[in-house]
Each structure stands twice: as structure tokens, then as C-alpha cells.
Amino acid sequence: MKKHLLLSHPCLLDHGISTHPENAGRLQAILTALTLSPYKSCLDLSMTRLATFDELAQVHTPNYVNYVLSLEGMQASLDYETHLTTESVKAARCAAGLGLELVEQILDNKIQNGFALVRPPGHHSRPDTAMGFCVFNNIALAAKKAISKGIKRILIFDWDVHHGNGTQEAFYEDDRVLFIDFHQDNLFPAGSGLISQKGKGKGLGFTVNVPFPDSCRDDDYLYAFENLVKPLATKYQPELILVSAGFDAHESDPLGSMGLTTKGYGMLTAEVKTLADTLCNGKVVFFLEGGYNPEFLAKNVLECISVLAADTDPLVKSREEIQPYTKGIEDLINGIYETHAG
């Protein structure tokens, strides 16, 4: 079994324009860095898996899927900041399809973990509309694929600086997905990602939002993982973990106001990997979301990949070392945990 697989494709570079924040330079920086790294052998750029209509319709409404597919080869705007160029529809189908491929390979025991290095990103895309640079919801589609293959419990952990509203909406009434979202409070989308948004019906309690104040740092995130994500996930016992890995909470990012470092992303990845090793035989897939400083985006992604690809157990801080840096974080996390622990 090949343990680690990184999937991307050249067609993903053909979407969008260079002046947009979500441009091809982001992914190109990652691919260039990978070709110069020890992880080059894990990268496959040849997979041409395109998500089908039926696969896309597992999350999105048929009308929306038909509308997007009808725009293939055209230039169009799906909303005020989500624009299509002539190759964008193919790229969006490929971005979704590569995530589906990784989930299928993991569930078929061909690989242990993977990283979908894709664009356009996905976690803002709602069932019936595009939003926030996102066309199709790549991670939600992957979760639906896993469910169709018999998986009953999935943890989706979203650490992008913006709230994953589309993913939340896709599973808001579904207890087969525990959705935990770390994001900067009052950023984007407006009014989304509130602590009070906890799910509905069968899904009540299975949506967990952590709206951090701005300027939070590595230890704030690690503290929240240790004291919220880990106990809730341990209770839930997921069979698969999926991560919306946005890197726009980095201290250099122009679209966020957080203070995470490259080392912090590595430690956070180590925590996720350890959790996956403990709960679901290491089955975890990362999906590229945001991150708008290409230089540091590439460094942050490589840091995460180095942890995923390591044969030894990842080095994580001891519990005693992980203390919140920002005032009020302990009370925030304790309050959220108490709300969801029952």
C-alpha cells in the first residue's frame, strides 16, 4: 500500500485570472516547491478524474449543477467574487474529482492519507450557489462519496480563517458528519459560524463553531484542538477524517488577521494525524482551501505534507505546554465544549 498520495493536475492552473486573490500562482508555488522537495514522488499530476453530474448532485441541486456545467468554455460570474474563465468548469470538476479519488483510494486501502492540492477551493460553495471563490464544495462531495461507500461517521475539521458555511449547510441536519470549524470571528461570510449554529434535527449538536478573535496564535489553536476537537472526536469515533486546510490564518496572509506560523500548521497537522491514527487507522484527507500569500502558502503546505509523510509518530506538544496565548480563549473553548459535551 502506498501510504501517501498528493493529487493535483495542470488543468487546475487554467482557472481564473492573475489579478484575482485566488489565482493560479497559489497552486503553482506549491507545485514548484514540491518538485524540489523529498515528497516529489508522492505527487501525481496525471489523474484526470472529473466529478460527474450524479456525484456533484449529491451535494448541489441539479439546477445549480446544470447551470455551472452549461457555462463550460465561457466567461461568467457566479457571484461578485467568483468568476469563471473558459477553462474554469473543467478545473472545478477536476478539483472535486481529485478529492473523490483520494477518498475512494483510502477506503479501498490503497493509501493511508492524502492531500488534494486543488483549486478552485470549495468550503463556501452552498448547495444551490457559488460563493467566496468556490464553485463546487470539494470536501462535502468527498464526504458524501464516503457515506455512499458505507462510512457512517465522518469528522470534517475546517481550519481556514473563513467560516466553511457551505460545508456547514450541507450537513446541518446530518449526524453522519461531525463538522468542527475554526475561523476568525466576524470575517466572512457575515453572520456565519456563530456558536449558536449547532445543527438541526438529527444533526443537532454535530456542528461545532469556534469563532476566534483576531490575532490568535499557534497555541490558541492547539489549545482548542486539545480541549475541544480531541474529546468531541474521541466521543464521536469517526471512521474517516477530512480537513479543509486553508492557510489564510497565517500571520502573513492579506485576507485574514490571525497569527499562525508555519511551524504552527505543522503542529496542527501532527495533532490531526495522531487523532486519525488513534481513531480511524490513519485515514485522513486534506483539501486545499484558502491561503493568499503564495510564498508562505507553499511553505505551510510543505510543512503539513512533511508531517503527513513522516514514518515516525508526529511530534506534538505535551498537554502541559499547550496553553492559550490570547486572553479569553480558555473561557471560549470551555464554554463551547460544555455546550456540546452532553
Active site residue 83: no
SS (H, E, C) 106-124: HHCCCCCEEEECCCCCCCC
Q: How many CB atoms lie within 10 A of CB 35?
A: 11
Cell numbers for 320: 502541559
Task: Specify whether the backbone of 282 is left (phi greater than 0), alpha (psi in -120 to 50) or beta.
Answer: left
**Helix, strand or coil for residue 201?**
helix
**Residue spans of alpha helices (H) in the chain:** 24-35, 53-56, 62-70, 88-107, 138-148, 165-170, 218-224, 230-236, 262-279, 294-308, 329-340
Cα end-to-end distance, the chain, whole Å: 39
Catalytic residue among 83, 124, 162, 183: 124
DSSP character for 213? P
Q: How many CB atoms lie within 10 A of CB 105?
A: 18
Cα separation values, 200 from 164, 175, 197, Å: 17, 9, 9
**Which residues form the catalytic set?**
124
